[in-house]
Structure 1
Amino acid sequence: MHTMSEGTKKPAGSWEPGETCVLCAQADADPELYGRKLVISGINFHEFCAVFSGGLHQEAVTQKEGSHLVLLQIITIILQAQQTPCFVCGKRGATITCAESGCNRSFHFPCASKGECVTQYFGQFRSFCCNHRPLQPVEAVPAQDMICIICMEPMGNSRSYSTMVCPSCRHACFHRACIQRLVLRLGITLHCPHCRDKEELFHYMTAMGIYIPSRLVSHSWFFRHSSSSVDSAGPNTASQQGLGPLQGSAEQ
């Protein structure tokens, strides 16, 4: 995933000790989840804080090699965020807005998981609040007494943000946090231990907001799916289709 041109970024060493991301106010956040430390027009950002902040992402990905973001545009986005409350924590500074048409819910990138939001790390880098995030199929519910195949802890017997079921066999269950940690370690080699499926599981996880580092994604997969229906699907596609993993959003 190429999110910042070479002309708009500086190495992590450009951040002085104690300096923080202007969007999330954190300094030493997990680079696997927040991305690289960048300096854009003299302002500090975490890569994914910028990527999912609509205006900054659009400006960043359209820059030509060697060009720089207009400082005034960045300041405008930051000032707007200072007036926007996060629906999760209630504090201002929210720069991410739900992609569902008509929804004005905004949130901070670090609050996404706590608020049960989904951020999709591909295509248009869309984000969804807890009311409009992609849903697992109704039948993809952990059976009674099932355990997570990763941590071996109980799953519960209801569909929730924190529980996931293999879309292929519908038998292997895992916690969202567990599969995210495993993906960061294994990436594209990950497969369902029950049915051995790779492609459908990968397809499904990305739509559900699981982050897979770009270095682990093959070019053939990216070009096959980057222009798929997830970018053009209308509202509520997932609830209508039972979540075709790269086919849209929206819980009613």
Structure 2
Amino acid sequence: CYVCGERGATISCRQKGCKRSFHFPCGCEDGCVSQFFGQYRSFCREHRPAQTVQAQQDGETSCLICLEPVEEKLSHHTLVCPACRHAWFHRGCVQRQALRAGFFCFQCPQCQNRETFLWEMSSMGIRVPIREAAWEADGTFNELYERHSRCDARQCLYARGREEAEEEGPWQLLLCSSCAAKGTHRRCSALRPTVATWECDDC
């Protein structure tokens, strides 16, 4: 390994004529770049790819993710969105964002460009796992997929309670046609059988 000098380095720089090899952890510490797509190429610090997009900062610029200041120009540790050219990031911050967002949700936080941003960041060595976003997998938004199923009338008249309803008749549960976040039994809100929609007091 050209970084630590120990044996067992299995990663070689893909630049033609370069004979440097390194361990993956050593390469990360020294600023080497490994691309996690296609041919899975790796490059030493001297031959690593660099962003070529023309982007200028307006005064002191902060990382759009952690809000801490970034370097004044592009570097291995400071990246910019190639689409909008206004969103700047620390490498570590955009890497953590990629691991959390996954392949299907990884995009520029500012302009929301996905295709160009994904390709550029991947080329710069940002690993984007091919999976759903972490916030989808951990069930954070599961409640949003559940249909409201409770009578919210001031006084529920159904003997079986607010949580129960029937498919039709006076105890059919109607949801607010605007927000769908509140419901009522027909009889609890004195709705006629011919009434097809209902709006809650908030809407």
Q: Judge same fold: TM > 0.5, yes or no.
A: yes
Partner of 2:27: 112
1:150-196 deviation digits (Å, cap 9, x = unpaired)? 11111020221111000001100001111111111112312222222
Say whether the 8 Å CA contact 1:142–1:165 is kept in structure 2: no
Gaps of 5+ in 2: 134-203
Partner of 2:77: 162
Say whether the 8 Å CA contact 2:74–2:80 is kept in structure 1: no
- Is the alpha carbon distance of 1:205 and 1:110 closer, same or farther for their aligned partners in structure 2, counting shifts above 3 Å? same
Q: Secondary structure in 1 aligned to 2:131?
A: helix
Say whether the 8 Å CA contact 1:135–1:208 is kept in structure 2: yes
Q: Which is helix-richer, 1 or 2? A: 1
Partner of 2:49: 134
Partner of 2:94: 179
Structure 2 distance, partners of 1:191, 1:92, is 39
The equivalent position to 1:192 in structure 2, one of 103, 108, 128, is 108
Structure 2 distance, partners of 1:141, 1:159, is 9
1:81-108 deviation digits (Å, cap 9, x = unpaired)? xxxxx12223222111100000011110
Percent identity between the two aligned chains: 52
Structure 1 residues 1-252: aligned runs within 5 Å: 86-137=1-52, 139-140=54-55, 142-187=57-102, 188-216=104-132
Q: 2:34 is aligned with what amino acid?
A: T
Structure 1 distance, partners of 2:23, 2:59, is 35
Structure 2 distance, partners of 1:140, 1:132, is 22
Gaps of 5+ in 1: 1-85, 218-252
Structure 2 distance, partners of 1:168, 1:194, is 10
Q: 2:114 is aligned with what amino acid?
A: K
Q: After TM superposition, give the deviation of residue 118 of structure 1 in Å.
A: 0.8
The ranges of structure 1 where at least 4 consecutive aligned residues each deviate by more than 3 angstroms after the TM superposition are 140-144
- Is the alpha carbon distance of 1:192 and 1:90 closer, same or farther for their aligned partners in structure 2, counting shifts above 3 Å? same
Q: Secondary structure in 1 aligned to 2:89?
A: strand
Choose 1 or 2 for highest CA Rg: 2
The structure whose RCO (Cα within 8 Å, separation 6+) is larger is 1
- Is the alpha carbon distance of 1:207 and 1:139 closer, same or farther for their aligned partners in structure 2, counting shifts above 3 Å? same
TM-score (norm 1): 0.49
Say whether the 8 Å CA contact 2:34–2:125 is kept in structure 1: yes
Say whether the 8 Å CA contact 1:120–1:210 is kept in structure 2: yes
Q: Secondary structure in 2 aligned to 1:177?
A: helix
